[in-house]
Structure 1
Amino acid sequence: FDPNIADKYDGGENVRSDVKLGDDGRIVAEDEDPDEKLAGSSGREYDLMVIGAHGIGIQPLSQLGGMVSRVIRHVEKDILITKDERPLREGSWMVCVDGSSYSYKAMRQALEMARDFKAKLFVCSAFDVEYHHSVFGNIKDILSVQASKVFKFEEQEELHNNIIDKGLLKLAQANLKRAEIMAEEFPDVEVETQILIGKPFQCILQWIEEIDPSLLILSRHGNHRIEGTDMGSQVENLCRLAPGNILVTSTLGVRPDDIPWIEETLRSDNAFIIGDA
């Protein structure tokens, strides 16, 4: 039925009172605020949006539907992106933590849901050591011999190798320790933890290939959230590339410094990093 040629149908002269027609006889679109056109806007009363990863326009090489990719960037509530029909009950689930309050909100939601669905929870924390090595490699290529001496390049590189790389490892260990302590509140949930080394989204995808989870749980933002951004880059990559169902948890009402305080993590060998987590 085409409302713009309604007059060609039997009874087409009957027009609804709330429909406006222009001088050309065509329907005039409603004057609507752009934000109101987003069905999942935060002002609506709901807790979870469920949306398929693709629509009828799916192509063999499609990663994520165009409409879906736009919606998940602007809807701030919890979003479940469905990519397959595997049941969530009694499945293997994966959740990622990076030390941010956002990720621990996702962790708690994962634990609560895993308890109700009798699922096993795989928890990972990833860090990238190659980034700092790449930075130093680029600096080395552009510095003159004299500038290298002033910069004390070799000493700086050794400092990074001994402190930053090892510090990142201790941060990841502390992230998982905090997650394990949280999991003690849920004795019925089986939890397995893993430290991943590499670009976060890449090594998480590799672990997904090994675990094959029926649900991947991610926080919309992480430690490096920048004001004004819609979602983290690692999360966006995983929403496109991860093969299974994905739950992106809301960050509404969560402050960046709302990290769970767990006494058990404050050990002498890593106490200096807890304040920076």
Structure 2
Amino acid sequence: MAKYRKILVAYDGSPSAQNALSLASQLAREDKSWIKVLAVVPPYLGDLELVGVSDIKETITGPGQKLLAEARQCADHEGVHILTNLEQGEPYEQIVHVAEEENCDLIVMGRRGKGKMERELMGSVTARVIGHTNKDVLVIPENGTLSWQNILLATDGSTCCDNALARALEIAQERSAKLNAVSVVYSNDEFYAVGQEIMKELYQDADKVLDKVRKWAGDLGVQTELFVRDGEPHQAITAMAAEISASLIVMGSHGRKGLTRLLMGSVTERVIGYADCPVLVCHL
């Protein structure tokens, strides 16, 4: 089933989070899903500035309670019922933990900022959530909308991308949507100057990757259009999305481990940072 049963929305009160909650509510109405809204506040670590405060718990959790009250107002406006959680701790850890404990199958997060640095890093919390969770993660730009009707799958033929392909086909089949797929050949001027044969082989490999998409889609009766592009992968993918007016980009996560989970700048993370439409990251 392509439809998500239980959705976790990470909420910090920002315009991007408000938009993420609004679009998650839209999805919940369409699919009759549950929504859990999570706000995370810092833990009390014995800060001397709080010495003398009569109600430390209220001082720390009060802002979080206000966020959840605001979220409930937004949900009421959208006509959906939500459940709420307030947790203390590191935001990405709590988001991952609550999604696991509550058996959510989708995490929805907003994406802030259009500055170069913000796009490159696309938000440390979001990057860490993607690196640590085994749930699908939907990242929505601050002014983004949500539609399933014109999907772009970015694939390199790896196992994680096969998982994203399976999810994209589920979505396209269940929602009668078209699936576009792109495989990117990494290239630069040096490749073209001295590596014509290498480039030819890389293009052939990309065609083989898309042959799998064609076969899987054909077995399910899903309409597809396939593209090979070259260049920097994240640039080629976002340019392709703009060219075809994609409503959603679907990508896989490579399941990083250890310290590499904390490193930003992967193709997936950069696509999230630069894309004008929502990005769905599928995990193994």
Q: Which amino acid aligns with 1:71?
A: V
Q: Which residue of 1 aligns with 2:280?
A: 247
Work out the number of aligned pairs and report it. 201
Partner Cα distance (1:102, 1:60) in 2: 29
Partner Cα distance (1:121, 1:177) in 2: 14
Partner Cα distance (2:237, 2:134) in 1: 23
Map 1:52-201 to 2 at 5 A. 52-54=110-112, 63=119, 64-65=122-123, 67-83=125-141, 84=143, 86-89=145-148, 91-130=149-188, 133=191, 157=194, 160-162=195-197, 164-187=198-221, 189-201=222-234
| Contact 2:184/2:236 (8 A) holds in 1 | yes
- The superposition leaves residues 49-108 of structure 1 with CA deviations (integer Å, 9 ceiling, x where unpaired) of 112223xxx57775445544443343331001122453424x211001102011011011
Answer yes or no: is 1:38 the counterpart of 2:101: no
TM-score under structure 1 normalisation? 0.61
Q: Which amino acid aligns with 1:116?
A: E
**Secondary structure of the structure 1 residue equivalent to 2:246:** coil
Partner Cα distance (2:267, 2:151) in 1: 18
* Cα RMSD (Å): 3.4
| 132 and 43 in structure 1: CA distance in 2 versus 1, 3 angstrom threshold | farther
**Secondary structure of the structure 1 residue equivalent to 2:219:** coil
Q: Which residue of 1 aligns with 2:41?
A: none
Q: Percent identity?
A: 26
Aligned partner (choices 262, 266, 282) of residue 233 of structure 1: 266
Q: Which amino acid aligns with 1:77?
A: K
| 176 and 37 in structure 1: CA distance in 2 versus 1, 3 angstrom threshold | closer
**Higher relative contact order, chain-length normalized (CA < 8 Å, sep 6+):** 1
| 213 and 36 in structure 1: CA distance in 2 versus 1, 3 angstrom threshold | closer
Partner Cα distance (2:115, 2:260) in 1: 30
Choose 1 or 2 for highest CA Rg.
Answer: 1
TM-score under structure 2 normalisation? 0.60
More strand by share: 2
Q: Which amino acid aligns with 1:239?
A: I
Structure 1 residue ranges without an equivalent (≥5): 1-18, 138-156, 252-277
More helix by share: 2
